Structure 1
Amino acid sequence: YVELLLACWWGGFAPVPVNARLHPSELAWILDHCRASLLFASEDLTAALGDLPSCLRETLVIGSPGFEALATADPREIEPVAADDLAWLFYTSGTTGRPKGAMITHRNLRAMTYAYFIDVDGIAPGDAIVHAAPLSHGSGLYILPHAAAGAVQVVPESGGFDPAELFALLPRWPGTTLFAAPTMVNRLVDHARRHAADGTALKTIVYGGAPMYLADLDAAHEVLGYKLAQIYGQGESPMTITALDKRAHADTGHPRWRERLRSAGTPQIVCEVRIADEEGRTLPEGEVGEILVRGDSVVPGYWEDPAATARTMGDGWLRTGDLGTFDADGFLYIKDRSKDLIISGGANIYPREVEDVLLTHPGVREVSVIGIPDREWGERVVACVVAEPGVGQEELDAWCLARIARFKRPRRYLFLEALPKNAYGKILKRELRARLAGDPPVG
């Protein structure tokens, strides 16, 4: 995979990395949308490809005679590219609808790489990154800073995330970095606790892509040490909006240390970040508004979607769709997705705040808070919960009443065996809303 990605750039082509765990219909949609002409796939995946769009001229199976002929052919000269040429067509994870193709340029990737060294973590020659998360997204983007620093790229034999496999790899690759979603970090911590696994060789875990709750951070620090760094980014500003580095995680003597652990850190060096109201006016510190970003990390637009481009970044500022606020020291606190904000009786309720409280309950394993229509209040708070046996609504209601304002607490609990997630581990709130869509408005 790494060789193919670098070969595309050498030849002046724009790769479209796609998660192998997507449904064949999702893959076909992306290939058709970007009008891909060539597809590389491993042999074990070709049987599941299904009907492919007519735009494809050829599918090359890794290890096939056609692939080997290409791999052993005389090398061609490197193709010159400009900074603003398309370098990576990045299809967003589509948690709220069809994915959009963010057009990442070479300028964007260069900015991301520089910012990693300054704001996220240092890399020494001979260090390693273990790609246990999908290479089509965050982990794959981090090929670049590690290649630039002379680090080793390690892909586990399983091709995915297995805590036991990962801990077994660490002694061979000291100075290891891992990019992980918070759910993956939690599984690592759980495995290390149950099996007394040695994480000494683990240098850094860069986490992002979903909220990391304070209770989970505490557990990770206790079991793995202060090896975590957080990044906040989007496909439209890949891995590069704000960062909270390892030093901030370990700064236990700071009077606002616990508070800062709840933040997404400070703006990375290659971009500007501000908080704006609905008219785009900058808001003062402490006020909640939409997070806007501009700089060399921000993509110029979406593939063949001028309307979405104009709507999202038409004036040069990327509208992230996330709600947040800055404190006096410049730390960004993400409140929620603007689409997930619940407005009940005219009051704003941020699902993440309610989720944070519920996750402190020892019997709650996972939770996602959404709003459902309510005739009287506009929306009503619903908590979708994966809980230990015996945990019920009355117990959780009392837990919330003791910790947050009464109007914020869930008025209904939906207990599930698992929360729906996409191929990148993000909770699909749209599926939870769809599950409740058949219920009549309350009130």
Structure 2
Amino acid sequence: MFRQLGTQALRHARMVKVMAASGVIRPYGPRTLAGIATTLHQRGIGFAGGMHALAVRDPDGLGLVDELGELTWREVDERADRLAHGLHGIGVSEGDSVAVLCRNHRYFVDVSTALSKLGADILYLNTAFSAPQLGEVCRREKPVAIVHDEEFTDLVDASGTDLTRVVAWHDGEPASGRDVVLVEDLIAEGGADPVAVPGHTTRPVILTSGTTGTPKGAPRDETGLDGAVALLSRMPLRTGGRTYIAAPLFHTWGWAHLNLAMLLGSTLVLRRRFDPADCLATLREHECDAMVVIPVMMQRIMKLDPGERSGDWSFLQVVAASGSALPGDLATDWMDAFGENLYNTYGSTEVAWATIAQPQDMRDAPGTAGKPPYNTVVKIYDQDGQPVPQGESGRIFVGNTMLFGGYTGDTDEKKDMIDGLMSSGDVGRFDDQGRLFVDGRDDEMIVSGGENVFPQEVEDCLARHEAVQEVAAIGVDDDDYGTRLRAFVVTSGDVDEETLKAHVKDNLARYKVPREIVFLDELPRNATGKILKKDLKEHDVDGDGGREQDEPADEQSAS
């Protein structure tokens, strides 16, 4: 018992130290401190409590900037109160679930905060969903209403969902021919009185990427600080800064930094769509000290003319990346161009963040996923559930207080557990400095001619060729070898299949050379930038590795 109390005391001491270093814990006047304490005691540290606490401690501070203009923290909080009353007036009650299908803008924040004040659950939907996916998720999760940007009206129509609808972002007059309820109208007409504290704590539900099947719901916890402290323990984020969240807010990574910016009191800079040149212009205009991205966004920025990327970037202290592996030399190329500001996070929707690589980690050990942050344990086990020796590969398992409690909906599917640690679904190893290296998904490893091959290693090798912009590799059935490797590449120059095969052969073992290399104009990706390998498996190949034309990717990819 005493040992357990000592462990908890050390953990809390480290939490206080991290929060003090970031400026979260600092002196306030008695009245302000009392107001913050009362708010957090009554409403917790979710959106309802967090936004109101910011309105108490810095009411006139700049809270949010998007294409529509600026909002102070007081305005953000007051808009949420009014919207909560408005949503309640159209039938949304405590304990209900409401679906949100919005891009990155003020209405995403308005709706999330209003639902938190009401004590309603929030189902965040992927903006790249097809109509069948949208319909299937809504039928499974059973929301009573959906708040969506006007551009998704036809998608919602085609999904077959019969829900109360509220339109968030719209350009000009809303679509005619239907009764339209606007978020802005609900705010204008809603009462200004504070919303009564609900008995139910809001449960946000983040959907998995769905790259290998139907997206599943993974509920997150609005009440804990550990997730924020874990990020702050490895990233030098500070209070009072400006954070440009380019990653989709509906995804774990963007949503996490929305919460983190709220804790830090950082101004939120949002744009509905991602454009690499506009991204750099936005960073400069607002002198953002932090940017939150997914790797494909970094790739698109690095494709810009060097003149567009030049200049003094010393104000940009943290570029927080996550969502997929950093291919090839992207990490070092980025730091060569923008300075030592890259922090790459490895994790999943289910386990949150497992490791964070700091700039020096990626300089010293290119390809590393970094080290576990605050209050996180990562171990490597073999197929029999036994720990593997340091340096050997095995299945990655993660333990922290952020593990999700199981998928929502009517499903018995569970993640594998060993000794209280949850499987990340990947295979990896630790080096002698305690840095994690991820070999790839445990279900992507192929056995070709008796040899084990992870596609990610081959992808990284091909990505380092000067003519290759993007690459993905998969295993396909083979009559002679059981499975063979097929690579799909997007190139920026004139290069043929044999040249790329020779490049792999010069850098990796012979059995890792792809049997086929298919040339595409674009790789299929979802809205969070992950490559849809299930679509590549269904891709028609003419058998000669010839250059093929692919259908353009959805414009929402990396938007």
In the alignment, the residues of structure 2 paired with residue 211 and residue 267 of structure 1 have an alpha-carbon distance, to the nearest angstrom, of 16
Cα distance, 1:89 vs. partner?
0.8
2:301 to 182, 188, 192: 188
Q: Give the greater-gyration-radius structure (CA).
A: 2
Partner of 1:227: 341
Distance 1:65 1:211, change over 3 A: closer
Residues 120, 231 of structure 1: 8 Å contact kept: no
In the alignment, the residues of structure 1 paired with residue 230 and residue 306 of structure 2 have an alpha-carbon distance, to the nearest angstrom, of 33
Distance 1:247 1:211, change over 3 A: same
Partner of 1:150: 265
Partner of 1:32: 139
Distance 1:62 1:420, change over 3 A: closer
Cα distance, 1:236 vs. partner?
0.6
Counterpart mapping for 1:1-400 below 5 A: 1-52=108-159, 56=163, 58-62=164-168, 67-68=183-184, 70-71=186-187, 72-73=190-191, 74-80=193-199, 87-107=203-223, 110-125=225-240, 127-137=241-251, 138-156=253-271, 159-191=272-304, 193-198=306-311, 199-238=313-352, 240-249=353-362, 257=364, 259=365, 261-309=366-414, 311-313=415-417, 316-400=420-504
Residues 36, 55 of structure 1: 8 Å contact kept: no
Of all paired residues, the percent bearing the same amino acid is: 28
Residues 24, 48 of structure 1: 8 Å contact kept: yes
Distance 1:289 1:173, change over 3 A: same
Q: Partner letter of residue 399 of structure 2?
A: R
Distance 1:419 1:68, change over 3 A: closer
SS in structure 1 of the partner of residue 434 of structure 2:
coil
In the alignment, the residues of structure 1 paired with residue 447 and residue 274 of structure 2 have an alpha-carbon distance, to the nearest angstrom, of 38
Cα distance, 1:68 vs. partner?
4.4
SS in structure 2 of the partner of residue 299 of structure 1:
coil
2:517 to 397, 413, 421: 413
Residues 123, 204 of structure 2: 8 Å contact kept: yes
Residue ranges of structure 1 left out of the alignment (5+ in a row):
none
Residue ranges of structure 2 left out of the alignment (5+ in a row):
1-107, 170-179, 544-559
Cα distance, 1:86 vs. partner?
5.9
Query: Which deviates more from structure 2 when the two are superposed, residues 383-392 or residues 139-148?
Result: 383-392
Cα distance, 1:192 vs. partner?
5.9
SS in structure 1 of the partner of residue 340 of structure 2:
coil
SS in structure 1 of the partner of residue 337 of structure 2:
helix
Corresponding residue pairs, total: 421
Partner of 2:64: none
Distance 1:373 1:44, change over 3 A: closer
Cα distance, 1:205 vs. partner?
1.1
Query: Which deviates more from structure 2 when the two are superposed, residues 261-270 or residues 386-395?
Result: 386-395
Residues 309, 337 of structure 2: 8 Å contact kept: no
User: Could you state the TM-score of these two structures normalised by the residue count of structure 1?
Assistant: 0.88
In the alignment, the residues of structure 2 paired with residue 192 and residue 296 of structure 1 have an alpha-carbon distance, to the nearest angstrom, of 43
Distance 1:180 1:172, change over 3 A: same
SS in structure 1 of the partner of residue 233 of structure 2:
helix
In the alignment, the residues of structure 2 paired with residue 112 and residue 416 of structure 1 have an alpha-carbon distance, to the nearest angstrom, of 39
Cα distance, 1:375 vs. partner?
2.1
Supply the RMSD in Å over aligned alpha carbons: 2.3
Query: Which deviates more from structure 2 when the two are superposed, residues 19-28 or residues 339-348?
Result: 19-28
Q: Partner letter of residue 154 of structure 1?
A: V
In the alignment, the residues of structure 2 paired with residue 94 and residue 434 of structure 1 have an alpha-carbon distance, to the nearest angstrom, of 16
In the alignment, the residues of structure 1 paired with residue 420 and residue 162 of structure 2 have an alpha-carbon distance, to the nearest angstrom, of 33
Query: Which deviates more from structure 2 when the two are superposed, residues 11-20 or residues 65-74?
Result: 65-74
Distance 1:196 1:290, change over 3 A: closer
Cα distance, 1:197 vs. partner?
4.6
Question: Deviations 1:4-52 (Å, cap 9, x if unpaired)?
Answer: 2122222222211112232233222222221011211223332432245
In the alignment, the residues of structure 1 paired with residue 304 and residue 542 of structure 2 have an alpha-carbon distance, to the nearest angstrom, of 39
In the alignment, the residues of structure 2 paired with residue 297 and residue 359 of structure 1 have an alpha-carbon distance, to the nearest angstrom, of 33
SS in structure 2 of the partner of residue 15 of structure 1:
strand
SS in structure 2 of the partner of residue 266 of structure 1:
coil
In the alignment, the residues of structure 2 paired with residue 419 and residue 305 of structure 1 have an alpha-carbon distance, to the nearest angstrom, of 33
Question: Deviations 1:337-359 (Å, cap 9, x if unpaired)?
Answer: 01111111221111111111111
Cα distance, 1:247 vs. partner?
4.8
Residues 115, 202 of structure 2: 8 Å contact kept: no
